[in-house]
């Protein structure tokens, strides 16, 4: 399928798909039988990867981290222990972010209480 069809199927814009391609997260292939254009074609694995990228981004993975995970899962460049280490590192990072967000929430609640009770 071409990029526009891929975009429609996944809900990911063509611009974003091109960005992911430049970042090395996905790869289109040229149809060798067609010499008149440079259109790239994408397969069902690309759809799967785009869904994975979306999920990974939603839980806070960076593009670089997503690249590592794609290498680990799709290109089998990492051992089981290396895969687990990548996931454990992200879990630790998420725990830290959760602590920071809880602290920010506590501060905001204190500010709100100060306003309600005319202390500011």
> Each residue of 79-94: b (16+ CB within 10 Å) or e?
eeeebeebeeebeeee
CATH assignment of 1-78, among 1.10.1660.10, 1.10.8.60, 3.10.350.10, 1.20.1250.20: 1.10.1660.10
61-120 residue pLDDT tens: 899 989 988 888 887 788 889 888 888 988 998 899 999 999 999 999 999 999 999 998
pLDDT of residue 76: 79
6-48 residue pLDDT tens: 999 999 999 999 999 999 999 999 877 777 777 899 999 999 9
Give residue limits of the domains in the chain.
1-78, 80-120
- Backbone CA torsion sign across 40, 42, 46, 48: positive
Measured CA to CA, the distance from residue 52 to residue 117 in angstroms comes to 47
């Amino acid at each position: 399928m071409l990029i526009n069809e891929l975009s429609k199927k996944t809900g990911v814009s063509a611009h974003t798909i091109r960005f992911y391609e430049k970042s090395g997260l996905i790869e289109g292939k040229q149809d060798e039988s067609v010499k008149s254009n440079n259109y790239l074609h994408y397969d069902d694995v690309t759809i799967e990867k785009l869904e994975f990228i979306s999920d990974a981004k939603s839980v806070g993975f960076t593009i670089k981290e997503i690249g590592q995970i794609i290498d680990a899962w799709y290109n089998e460049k990492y051992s089981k222990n290396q895969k687990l280490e990548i996931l454990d590192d992200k879990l630790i990072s998420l725990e830290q972010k959760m602590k920071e967000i809880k602290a920010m929430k506590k501060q905001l609640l204190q500010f709100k209480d100060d306003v309600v009770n005319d202390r500011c």
